[in-house]
Amino acid sequence: MIAQQTYKKLFVIIPDRLSDLIRKGEITERYYNPGNLFDEVHIIMINDDKPDSSKLQSTVGRAKLYLHNLPAGRNLFIKTLGWRPWLLRGWAAPAIELAEKIGPTMIRCHGANLNAYLAYRIKCILGIPYIVSLHTNMVESKKIDRGGFLDRLAYWAQGTIEKLVLKHADMVLPVYLPVVHRLEQMGIQNYVVCYNVLNPIFLQKKENYALHDPVEVVSVGRQLKGKNPENLIRAIATLPKVKLTLIGDGPLHTYLKQVAKDSEAEGRVEFIPSLSNDELCRRLPDYDVFAAHTDYWEIPKSVLEPLLTGLPVVINRRLGLPVPELTEDVCISVDNTVDGYKLALERLMGDDEFRIKLGAGAFKKANSQWAPSITEAKYMDIYSQVIAK
């Protein structure tokens, strides 16, 4: 993709440890430089991570990539009495100096935490605009995993930062519709829903809906409390002509292996702890069904991807408000029970016309809203508008 106009320099400020993303294979072409809009991309990490820059080059396309560190760490939380904004100014000073030296045209932040506070301070001093993408409804997520005392304290502190940085951002980009609810609660109005840019190369349309023998079901996601696929495994145990592939790792990984063994489905449940995103996207159309469990009020990347391929999707109904994107024309919503998953899988296996119709509906809706080419072009347009202002 070639942009009509290019700008010189972009700051991207993130909390992520990019070495972890490299290790997991979660690298997306031009993710930090949509449409090759910028000639230079400077990624500032608020940690001490030292990733291999050569393995990150594709994330900035043709731009020159520069990596910088401005670690926060636990001591910063203590010194600033829980990230009080006025006490964070000293920590932010080097970021302002770096921005003054390099002169970015714009700043992009992934998440509205300490990384976005740096953008806020740079804007206050130097007037450089910044955009923040919001990837979760923090209030709803904490209902699922409250954590211990320190976690709740950090959540409270983060809320103060979040409101400040979003209020002063030039544009806020919620990456799912449920995030909009959080913005409206805070009175934030300058937002545009922009789904994450997904794999632009290896996501392909599913062409063949003939079932394998055994039927191939795939589930992708972190194996943790809010995404526990235990009932899906137990449902597979009751379906002797079905095989399940679980891709992902997490604190429940060992437990889920034991569930498969105890339910006598061990020989038909394959565990793959890690798979590169390119390889995962390449494989998706070869499966018969995607099935997953999540209690979170979002539509995760692991669900966006199979919908884009036209893979029939089975997912649980969450407690509380439903995920707006997951309507009956793109997926089967079930109770998070063994019978819920079992009945849905039996229906898909027994009704060829329904299975094909569901996959086609998913492909049509997903590609009209979050196809990589659409989302990348949307980000390009928003960046250009913010810079023009």
CATH of domain 215-369: 3.40.50.2000
Helix segments in 103-176, DSSP class H: 114-126, 138-144, 149-168
Calculate the average pLDDT of the chain.
92
pLDDT at 3: 43
Q: For the residues 47-67, what does the mean pLDDT come to? A: 97
Tell me how far apart the alpha carbons of residues 65 and 40 are, in angstroms, rounded to a whole number: 6
How much of the chain, in percent, has pLDDT values that exceed 70? 93
Evaluate whether 7-198+371-388 and 215-369 have a shared fold: yes
Q: For the residues 83-103, what does the mean pLDDT come to? A: 96
Q: What is the pLDDT of residues 124-167, one digit of tens each?
A: 999 999 999 998 866 566 555 656 666 666 666 778 899 999 99
Q: Tokens 């940690």 sit at which residue?
A: 47
pLDDT at 2: 43
pLDDT at 299: 87
Residue boundaries of the structural domains of the chain: 7-198+371-388, 215-369
pLDDT at 82: 85
User: Would the pLDDT of 374 be above 50?
Assistant: yes
pLDDT at 160: 86
Q: What is the pLDDT of residues 219-268, one digit of tens each?
A: 999 999 999 999 999 999 999 999 999 999 999 999 999 999 999 998 99
The reported pTM is 0.89
Tokens of 384: 């250009």
101 CB burial (10 A radius; 0-12, 13-18, 19+): exposed
For residues 19-32, one letter each, b for 16 or more C-beta atoms within 10 angstroms of the residue's C-beta and e for the rest, the string is bebbeeebbbbbbb
Q: What is the pLDDT of residues 281-315, one digit of tens each?
A: 999 999 999 999 999 888 889 999 999 999 999 99
Helices (H) and strands (E) in the chain, counts: 14, 12
- Do the beta carbons of residue 180 and residue 195 sit within 8 Å? no
CATH of domain 7-198+371-388: 3.40.50.2000
Q: What is the pLDDT of residues 2-12, one digit of tens each?
A: 445 668 999 99
Tell me how far apart the alpha carbons of residues 381 and 384 are, in angstroms, rounded to a whole number: 5
pLDDT at 143: 58
